[in-house]
Every structure is written in structure tokens, then in C-alpha cells.
Amino acid sequence: MPALQTSTQAVDNIFLFIVAISVALLAGIVITMLWFVVRYSRTRNTEPEDIEGNLLLEIVWVVIPLIIVMAMFFYGWQGFRFLRTVPPNALPVKAFGQMWQWSFQYEDGRTENILTVPQGRPVKLTITSRDVVHSLFIPAFRVKEDAVPGMQTHLWFLPDTVGEYDLFCSEYCGTGHSSMITKVKVIPASDFDKWYAEGSAERKGEAKEGGRELLEKKGCLLCHTTDGTKKIGPTFRGLFGSRVTVVTAGKEHDIIADEEYLHRSVMDPQADIVKGYPPVMPPQKDNVSPKELEEIIEYIKGLK
């Protein structure tokens, strides 16, 4: 078997190997069975016969399957080691799962919802979750790894062909699970360098996006609306300055939704739970910077 290059080869090799063995065994068993039906039919053998054991046959049917399963183990182990050994030159990207979107943070701190990567350079994803267990799955590269809150997992792949590939959540994580889909965009290395440099320059200018764009990008609008309708969480329209009934440490009371309240509700959402809503929002400390939060609060203030 030639040296492995990509995760796709690592997985497909062992998969095809096992399928080939299974098909060969199926054919062998069916053919033998049919032959037995004919050879040992009652019309040919009217008298029952006492058949003694056959040592050679018994050794053969122990040794051959042993070789087969050991070969499966060997190739499987080889592929597994390949998948778990990250090449040293891999591009490090942090991946965050949250209900219900993925976000990817590059080394310079820029965060994107689509995973853009350069062709020909391995990519290492360090994965975690902001709430429940998700699973990051890129079928085209045959890689899948759980995103677990409070824990870091990883995977790597080599994007060898330019194109767009699906990236799914493959661990049922609630109502919006089926929409937890995004793309891996593989672009030529020179385009990637340009794209990356542009993003870094933009970042230096800080908070390029307004409150509205931030709400979309940070995933807030997956649970909240800006048009006054209820979703998983309360709407932002008319929220600022209104009287809200919240549950704090098990006690119900009214609160005025001022700046401090909005700030706390984003950074420490479990402090005051709005009555009638489930306590499912994760803290956004690593998702939203103080500067971004200012922009967001300014925007919410304007939603009368």
C-alpha cells in the first residue's frame, strides 16, 4: 500500500479493503452453500453418514479468518495513527460549536462562519463547544470529531483540491440541529494569503461591523429576533428600557432592561433568566469582545 497522503485515502483504503473481504466471503459462503445443497441432497444420500472431525480443515478455518481480522486491524490502526498525527506545518484554526452554528477563529483572532483554507496545506482544527455536545463532520475529507463543552478535541485534514465542501453537525443538538451547516472553502494558497492579510488589516481598524452584522455573525439571531416575534429567546425589538420579568436564583422579580442588564444578559446569561424562556444561552465571553458588545447594545437600543 503506498504511503498515505490524505485523510480521504486513509479512510477509503481500509473501507474498501473491508468491503472487498466482505464481498469475497459472501461469495465464498453462498457458493459453498449451494454446492452443499446439491452434493449432500437427500436423493443422493439416502443413508445418513457419521462424519468424523477433520483437523486440517479446522486449522484452516481458524487461521484464515485470524489473518483476515489481523489485516483489518493493521490497516485500521495505520489509518487511525495517520488521522491522529497532525503534520507540524498545519494551519491552526479554532472551531467552536454552539446552538446552532459553527465559528472558526484564526490565529490573528479573526472569526468566520465559513472555514476558508489554503489548498495544499494541512489544517488543524482545535474543537470545542460553547453549550452542548456537537460533532464536526466534513464528509469530503472523511473527518469527524465531537465538540464537547469544557474540553478540546482536534482533527486535521489536507485540502488538496480547490472547491467548496459541506461541513455538518452530526450530533443531534436540538431544534436547529439540521441548520447547523456551513462550508469549507478551499482556495489557492496565494489567494488565501491575500484573503488572510486583508482580514488582518481590517481587524486593526477594529469593529468593522455594525451591530446588525455582529448579531448575525455571532449567531444571536438563531435564537433572538429583531422584529418583535418570540423565538428560542426573547426578541430585541422594544427590549431596551422595557420592564422584564426575570427569575434570579429561583426568585421572580421585575427588572428594567438598561445597558447593564443587556451587558449581563450577554456575558452571564444564566444570572437573570427571562420568565417563560428556557435557560439555554451560553455565556458569550469568548464569542463577543467588549467593543463588539458595545456595538450590539447600541443597535438593540435603536430597535424601538
Asked if 222 is part of the footprint of Cu ion (rule: CB under 5 A), the reply reads no
Taking CB under 5 A as the criterion, the residue among 173, 214, 246, 288 binding Cu ion is 173
Taking CB under 5 A as the criterion, the residue among 136, 138, 180, 296 binding Cu ion is 180
183/212 with CB nearer Cu ion = 183
Asked if 93 is part of the footprint of Cu ion (rule: CB under 5 A), the reply reads no
Taking CB under 5 A as the criterion, the residue among 134, 142, 185, 224 binding Cu ion is 134
Instruction: Provide the minimum distance between the beta carbon of 96 and Cu ion in the complex, in angstroms, as a whole number.
Output: 11
Asked if 296 is part of the footprint of Cu ion (rule: CB under 5 A), the reply reads no
Contacts of 130 (CB under 8 A, 6+ apart): 96, 97, 98, 149, 282, 283, 284, 286, 287
Quick check: helix, strand or coil at residue 127?
A: strand
Instruction: Provide the minimum distance between the beta carbon of 105 and Cu ion in the complex, in angstroms, as a whole number.
Output: 18
Dist. CA 255–CA 204, nearest whole Å: 38
Asked if 169 is part of the footprint of Cu ion (rule: CB under 5 A), the reply reads yes
Asked if 293 is part of the footprint of Cu ion (rule: CB under 5 A), the reply reads no
H-run or E-run covering 247 = strand 243-248
Asked if 218 is part of the footprint of Cu ion (rule: CB under 5 A), the reply reads no
Q: Provide the H-helix boundaries in the chain.
A: 7-39, 55-84, 189-204, 211-217, 259-267, 290-301
211/219 with CB nearer Cu ion = 219
> Angle, to 10 degrees, between the axis of helix 290-301 and the axis of helix 259-267?
130
Size of the site for Cu ion (CB under 5 A): 4
First to last CA, the chain: 66
Asked if 136 is part of the footprint of Cu ion (rule: CB under 5 A), the reply reads no
Which chain residues interact with Cu ion by CB under 5 A? 134, 169, 173, 180
